[in-house]
């Protein structure tokens, strides 16, 4: 509480002495009237040289500093660091006195700064942090500003600069809604009056707690008026009362109680970034603010209690006691009373100064501890306070009438003044809208003022302007945004972008499940909508993105770079939409291209690339594609810009860009569209349009090869396909590209052979067979056959003999010779026990009519080898071979082969057979399976070849045929008991009926199954049970043997992730 001027309690003497000492020792060394002594005298040098220890030098330096002999004191510091080099960077603060601490750190910082390179921003930043640790903020701010001049985008420097701001600053935004000019004030139940010719001003202060204690005492806060009359702080105010258990709050006079803040202290009632609603009616004589155990803590001090209003009620205490209610018994000593009247509470970031000042003053200057003097223009305060001082109600004056008068203060050099003016304009800018909702000139000017606030040197003003822009009720006028695009300087744009960066970061950090504060503008382009959907929507204010978009289109290159950096780091739908506007400057596109490689979020990088490809600009697209690095994406639709750009004109997407785009697609997952007819047509179009672009065609081939890295499937014809579409079945377009590349003379031999090898190795032969048969390039075809023959891994796969058999369709003599020779070598050099598998494969690829024609080829070698091929493939006996040779025309030989030889075997199927089962499987889970980045793991497989049990067909009793798998009967044919009298269960003539369970189970237990990864992953028991009553109908194959297809209904489990959905069983006769 404020006491009358004539009464000063004894306990207040301690406070006055402390204030005098504080005033006597400024925070930084001050010069005398004639300036500090910058020379070192001979006598001083002699004294310094005589000092033998660090302690002696330290004592001497403090003495010199006390009498303003700064040069001599500096020399002492230098000698200290020479004697003890580690002290040059010692971060320990000096607790003896604040001036010595500041001088000690500043001198050593100057010594360290001399060692920094001219462009070493990081070094300056580190040195600033060291100064901050020592509590020396002024020089630290200077170093951070130097670092920002070197690197304006250094985010760490911006964050540190905010930390180095004075811990307490004036903030008059409170005056926008509450009266601050007063004629009297009630301190609890005591009226405090200004007196004649004076007024009272409630000056709000925003503070922050730091590790260094901030002490505020009314007597040490300097206040001056421009008219030269007295002005002073009467007391300190808080926004909330201390805890109720505290003696000061209750008015009690009990023992010396100081309630410490507990770690569970509640959140302060008024966050520092919000203006408080009111201030309390209690004065405090001293406030101390600091971080205690990481908690912002305020310690308040009062040296006496409030007195009764009626003088008659006041009693006189003992002469040697103080504290307590006057007249109470047993007073306490002054020190005990001081301890009694203090307490702790959470620091909420706001306090108030009650200032007495002359009523004719125009400006007040206030100097808070650890802060430079700041002034507030009282005329501006009066403008914003109209009709508030008397009624406490908001002003009814039209904002329009006050705008011009207030707006001139927005550029004031005084931060509190400019902040108040800017905040007022921000509150009233939306009210300037003209009739019928039209944008008025006043509104445009108001928004321009708020935008221009971004260039003010003080962060409070910049923040007030930005908050006003965010609170603007409608869209920011485009005419005002032209200020950012065309007129604003780098400093203004940088200040705004700092605020935008903070706003967007806050919007991204909120709960992603919450509704976005602003949705992207509606778009009529479905492709653009799909691109935007790939990124999350931001909850940041809409106008933050409007400002960001205007800065990206700015004429200032540095601002464009920073704006794009913020946009690319944000990665939201709203940020992406900024890049989609057609009005984007070419300069902005160039800047975007330069920063594209720095995008860390792969989803954002892919989205930006897609946006650029919607309406491509050649240079930008080329640069960005070259900077994709190892980016891999998932393409889900045929109209994805990553695909459609391949068909763009060369003026928009040149050959180099298409090459890079194809390489990107080669790393990506195209499984969702690979079976699409549109995708196949696209690849054909790219191949045709770039016929004279070998680099593009090579990249197209590489892309197709990368997409065809699929599990092997046997290239055997199937009557039906079961199960869902799978990546193995989706290689149509890529298969065609590889097949054409394999025989294209414009493609180098190595690439062509690699393409052919991939197709044969994966079992994808349809397109390659067609291209190979039609090819006229003899050398290329012969080279491919020789390369395949040398690849020993292919000798174990059915695809090689299938392809070679089909290759006989090529009409070139050399190609046929090479093909027939290779087939003979393959047959003769394989394991005798597995020759049946080669013969079976040759049957799948052999065109019997063309093969028979070759037996009459004029070239003897071809005719002989073709004849030998047919005989060993069919497995002719000597008698069958003589009958075949005796046929002297091609039709006669075809008839002999199909009707007499194969037809006879069909009528009498008795014999030994090898069994190959082609299974179709769905993979429901692949624990621990490795897969390539951005490419889908196979979810199904088809035509997986697995060897099964040997099958014997023999005559039983009567004319019945018994079918056995490793001596286990699986079927019986021609027995009336087998039919059971049910004609519906009988097989068709020329077919054999058998239960497939045993053959399928044995196939899944084979070595082939283990190699293909089926072992232990199929529920064999369930599979057997589901097939126990099944019968499959084995039908004759064209060149001998039997086959049947069946669909299977079983379920996969986590323990057995592979489910068999279909199979083809093939019985291949074993030659005697």
HEC sequence for 260-309: CCCCCCCCCCCCCCCCCCCCCCCCECEEEEEEECCEEEEEEECCCCCCCC
Q: Looking at mean pLDDT, say which of 10-19, 22-31, 1046-1055 comes out highest.
A: 1046-1055
pLDDT band at 803 (very low <50, low <70, confident <90, very high): very high
User: What is the reported pLDDT for 244?
Assistant: 58
907, 934, 958 — which closes off a domain? Answer: 907
Distance between CA atoms of 250 and 228, rounded to whole angstroms?
41
Kindly compute the dihedral angle of the four CA atoms of residues 287, 290, 292, 296, in this order, to the nearest 10 degrees. 90
Q: Provide the CA 170 distance to its chain's centre, in angstroms.
A: 39
Q: Is residue 721 part of a domain?
A: no
Q: Provide the CA 823 distance to its chain's centre, in angstroms.
A: 56
825: CB partners within 8 A, 6+ apart: 789
Same structural domain, 956 and 1051: yes
Same structural domain, 141 and 179: no
pLDDT band at 811 (very low <50, low <70, confident <90, very high): very high
- For 11-23, b/e burial (b = at least 16 CB within 10 A) is bbeebeeebeebe
CA distances from 1026 to 69, 707, 745, 1029, 1047 (A): 103, 36, 53, 8, 11
- 8 A C-beta contact, residue 69 and residue 35: no
Residue 522 is classified by DSSP as: P
Token pair, residue 326, equals 């006057």
Tens of pLDDT along 929-979?
A: 444 444 445 578 899 999 999 999 998 877 789 999 998 999 988 764 444
**Residue 684 above 80 pLDDT?**
yes
**Residue 328 above 70 pLDDT?**
no
Kindly report the backbone phi and psi dihedral angles of residue 140, in degrees, each rounded to the nearest multiple of 5, phi listed first: -65, -40
CA distances from 950 to 230, 668, 953, 960, 1003 (A): 116, 44, 10, 20, 11
Same structural domain, 961 and 973: yes
The mean per-residue pLDDT over the stretch 82-91 comes to 93
Token pair, residue 516, equals 């976005």
Same structural domain, 897 and 961: no
The pairing of strands 911-923 and 951-955 is: antiparallel
907, 928, 962 — which closes off a domain? Answer: 907
Residue 321 is classified by DSSP as: -
Tens of pLDDT along 234-248?
A: 999 998 877 655 444
User: What is the reported pLDDT for 205?
Assistant: 95
Q: Is residue 965 part of a domain?
A: yes
pTM for the model? 0.70
Q: Provide the CA 488 distance to its chain's centre, in angstroms.
A: 31
Same structural domain, 895 and 923: no
Nearest CA to 29 out of 94, 95, 97, 103 is that of 103
Same structural domain, 152 and 180: no
pLDDT band at 55 (very low <50, low <70, confident <90, very high): very high
The three-class DSSP label of residue 65 is helix
- With 0-12 / 13-18 / 19 or more C-beta atoms within 10 angstroms meaning exposed / middle / buried, residue 116 is middle
Token pair 């109470």 is found at 328
Token pair, residue 422, equals 């800017």
Same structural domain, 365 and 220: yes
User: What is the reported pLDDT for 58?
Assistant: 93
Q: Is residue 109 part of a domain?
A: yes
Same structural domain, 345 and 198: yes
Sign of the CA dihedral running 108, 111, 117, 118: positive
Residue 322 is classified by DSSP as: B
**Residue 795 above 70 pLDDT?**
yes
Distance between CA atoms of 678 and 186, rounded to whole angstroms?
83
- 8 A C-beta contact, residue 302 and residue 3: no
Same structural domain, 930 and 1065: yes
Distance between CA atoms of 130 and 93, rounded to whole angstroms?
10
User: Number of folded domains in the chain?
Assistant: 4
Q: Is residue 585 part of a domain?
A: no
Tens of pLDDT along 483-527?
A: 999 999 999 999 999 899 989 988 766 555 544 454 444 455 788
Q: What is the mean pLDDT of the chain?
A: 82
Q: Is residue 150 part of a domain?
A: yes
Distance between CA atoms of 258 and 245, rounded to whole angstroms?
10
**Residue 633 above 50 pLDDT?**
yes
**Residue 36 above 60 pLDDT?**
no
Same structural domain, 52 and 96: yes
pLDDT band at 531 (very low <50, low <70, confident <90, very high): confident
Kindly report the backbone phi and psi dihedral angles of residue 1016, in degrees, each rounded to the nearest multiple of 5, phi listed first: 75, 5
Domain around 284:
168-261+269-308+331-384
User: What is the reported pLDDT for 189?
Assistant: 73
Instruction: Please list the residues that pair with 190 across neighbouring strands.
Output: 187
The mean per-residue pLDDT over the stretch 868-895 comes to 94
Element spanning 354, H or E: strand 350-358
Distance between CA atoms of 11 and 15, rounded to whole angstroms?
8
Tens of pLDDT along 248-259?
A: 444 443 333 444
Distance between CA atoms of 974 and 853, rounded to whole angstroms?
39
Tens of pLDDT along 204-226?
A: 999 988 877 889 999 899 999 99
Same structural domain, 208 and 346: yes
146, 163, 180 — which closes off a domain? Answer: 163
- For 753-763, b/e burial (b = at least 16 CB within 10 A) is bbbbbbbbbbb
pLDDT above 90: percentage of residues in the chain: 48
The mean per-residue pLDDT over the stretch 736-760 comes to 91
Which range has the worst mean pLDDT, 577-586, 811-820, 893-902? Answer: 577-586
Tens of pLDDT along 884-942?
A: 999 999 999 999 999 999 999 999 999 999 999 999 998 875 544 444 444 445 578 89
Distance between CA atoms of 172 and 350, rounded to whole angstroms?
11
Kindly report the backbone phi and psi dihedral angles of residue 410, in degrees, each rounded to the nearest multiple of 5, phi listed first: -65, -20
The mean per-residue pLDDT over the stretch 441-462 comes to 92
Token pair, residue 289, equals 């603010």
User: What is the reported pLDDT for 753?
Assistant: 92
Residue 483 is classified by DSSP as: I
Same structural domain, 200 and 337: yes
E strands of 390-511, at which residues? none
């Amino acid at each position: 509480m404020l006491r009358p001027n004539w009464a000063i309690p004894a306990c207040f003497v301690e406070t006055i002495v402390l204030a005098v000492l504080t005033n006597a020792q400024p925070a930084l060394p001050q010069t005398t009237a004639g300036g500090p002594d910058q020379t070192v005298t001979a006598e001083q040098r002699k004294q310094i040289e005589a000092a033998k220890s660090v302690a002696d030098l330290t004592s001497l330096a403090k003495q010199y500093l006390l009498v303003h002999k700064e040069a001599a004191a500096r020399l002492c510091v230098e000698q200290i660091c020479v004697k003890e080099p580690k002290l040059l960077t010692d971060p320990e603060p000096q607790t003896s006195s604040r001036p010595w601490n500041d001088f000690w750190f500043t001198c050593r910082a100057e010594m360290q700064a001399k060692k920094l390179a001219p462009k070493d921003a990081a070094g300056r930043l580190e040195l600033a942090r060291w100064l901050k640790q020592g509590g020396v903020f002024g020089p630290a701010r200077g170093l951070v500003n130097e670092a920002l001049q070197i690197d304006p985008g250094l985010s760490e420097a911006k964050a540190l600069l905010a930390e180095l701001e004075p811990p307490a600053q004036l903030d008059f935004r409170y005056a926008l809604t509450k009266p601050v000019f007063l004629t009297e004030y009630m301190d609890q139940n005591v009226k405090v009056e200004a007196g004649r010719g004076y007024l009272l001003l409630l000056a709000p202060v925003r503070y922050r707690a730091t590790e260094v204690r901030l002490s505020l005492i009314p007597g040490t806060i300097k206040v001056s008026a421009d008219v030269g009359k007295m002005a002073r702080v009467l007391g300190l105010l808080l926004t909330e009362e201390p805890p109720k258990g505290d003696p000061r709050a209750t008015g009690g006079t009990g023992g010396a109680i100081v309630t410490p803040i507990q770690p569970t202290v509640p959140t302060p009632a008024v966050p520092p970034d919000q203006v408080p609603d009111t201030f309390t009616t209690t004065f405090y004589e001293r406030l101390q603010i600091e971080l205690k155990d990481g908690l912002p803590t305020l310690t308040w001090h009062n040296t006496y209690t409030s007195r009764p209003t009626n003088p008659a009620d006041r009693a006189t205490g003992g002469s040697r006691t103080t504290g307590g209610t006057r007249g109470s018994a047993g007073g306490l000593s002054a020190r005990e009373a001081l301890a009694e009247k203090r307490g702790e509470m959470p620091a909420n970031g706001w306090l108030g100064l009650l200032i007495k000042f002359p009523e004719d003053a125009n400006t007040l200057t206030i100097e808070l501890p650890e802060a430079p003097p700041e002034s507030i223009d009282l005329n501006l305060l009066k403008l914003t306070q109209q009709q508030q001082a008397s009624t406490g109600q908001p002003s009814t004056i039209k904002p329009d009438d006050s705008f011009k008068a207030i707006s001139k203060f927005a550029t004031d050099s005084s931060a509190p003044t400019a902040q108040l003016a800017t905040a007022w304009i921000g509150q009233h800018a939306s009210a300037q809208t003209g009739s019928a909702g039209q944008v008025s000139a006043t509104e445009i000017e108001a928004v321009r003022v708020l935008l221009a606030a971004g260039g003010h040197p003080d962060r409070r003003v910049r923040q007030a302007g930005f908050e006003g822009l965010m609170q603007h009720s409608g869209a920011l006028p485009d005419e005002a945004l032209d200020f950012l695009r065309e007129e604003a300087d780098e400093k203004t744009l940088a200040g705004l972008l700092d605020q935008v960066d903070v706003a967007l970061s806050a919007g991204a950090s909120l709960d992603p499940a919450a509704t976005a504060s602003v949705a992207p503008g509606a778009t009529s382009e479905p492709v653009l909508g799909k691109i935007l959907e790939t990124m999350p929507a931001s909850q940041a204010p809409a106008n933050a993105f409007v400002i960001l978009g205007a800065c990206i289109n700015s004429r200032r290159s540095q601002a464009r770079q920073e704006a794009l950096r913020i946009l690319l780091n944000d990665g939201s739908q709203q940020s992406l939409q900024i890049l989609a506007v057609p009005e984007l400057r070419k300069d902005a596109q160039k800047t975007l291209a330069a920063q594209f490689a720095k995008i860390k979020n792969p989803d954002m990088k892919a989205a930006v690339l897609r946006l650029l490809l919607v309406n491509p600009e050649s240079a930008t697209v080329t640069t960005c594609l070259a900077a994709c690095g190892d980016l891999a994406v998932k393409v889900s639709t045929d109209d994805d810009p990553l695909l459609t750009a391949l068909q763009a004109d060369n003026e928009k997407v040149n050959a180099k860009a298409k090459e890079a785009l194809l390489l990107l697609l080669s790393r990506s997952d195209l499984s969702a569209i690979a079976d699409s007819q549109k995708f196949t047509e696209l690849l054909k179009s790219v191949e045709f349009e770039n016929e004279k672009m070998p680099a593009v065609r090579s990249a197209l081939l590489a892309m197709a090869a990368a997409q065809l890295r699929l599990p092997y499937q046997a290239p055997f014809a199937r009557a039906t396909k079961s199960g869902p579409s799978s990546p193995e079945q989706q290689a149509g377009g890529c298969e065609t590209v590889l097949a054409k590349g394999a025989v294209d003379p414009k493609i180098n031999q190595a690439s062509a052979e690699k393409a052919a090898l991939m197709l044969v190795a994966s079992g994808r032969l349809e397109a390659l067979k067609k291209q190979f048969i039609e090819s006229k390039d003899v050398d290329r075809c012969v080279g491919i056959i020789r390369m395949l023959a040398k690849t020993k891994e292919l000798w174990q796969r059915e695809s090689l003999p299938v392809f070679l058999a089909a290759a006989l369709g090529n009409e070139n003599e050399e190609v046929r010779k090479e093909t027939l020779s290779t087939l003979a070598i393959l047959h003769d050099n394989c394991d005798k026990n597995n020759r049946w598998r080669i013969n079976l494969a040759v049957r799948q690829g052999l065109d019997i009519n063309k093969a028979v024609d070759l037996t009459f080829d004029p070239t003897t070698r071809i005719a002989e080898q073709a004849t030998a091929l047919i005989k060993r493939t069919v497995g002719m006996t000597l008698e069958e071979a003589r009958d075949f040779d005796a046929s002297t025309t091609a039709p006669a030989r075809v008839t002999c082969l199909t009707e007499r030889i194969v037809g006879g075997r069909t009528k009498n199927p008795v014999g030994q057979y090898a069994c190959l089962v082609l299974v179709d499987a769905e993979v429901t889970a692949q624990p621990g399976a490795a897969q390539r980045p951005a490419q889908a793991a196979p979810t199904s497989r088809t035509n997986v070849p697995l060897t099964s049990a040997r099958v014997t067909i023999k005559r039983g009793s009567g004319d019945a045929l018994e079918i056995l798998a490793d001596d286990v009967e699986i079927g019986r044919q021609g027995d009336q008991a087998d039919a059971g009298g049910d004609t519906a269960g009988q097989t068709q003539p020329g077919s054999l009926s058998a239960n497939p369970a045993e053959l399928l189970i044995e196939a899944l237990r084979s070595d082939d199954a283990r190699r293909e990864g089926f072992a232990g992953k199929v529920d064999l028991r369930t599979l057997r049970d589901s097939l126990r009553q099944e019968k499959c109908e084995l039908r004759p194959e064209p060149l001998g043997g039997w086959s049947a297809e069946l669909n299977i209904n079983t379920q996969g489990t986590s323990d057995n992730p592979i489910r068999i959905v279909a199979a083809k069983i093939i019985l291949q006769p074993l030659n005697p």
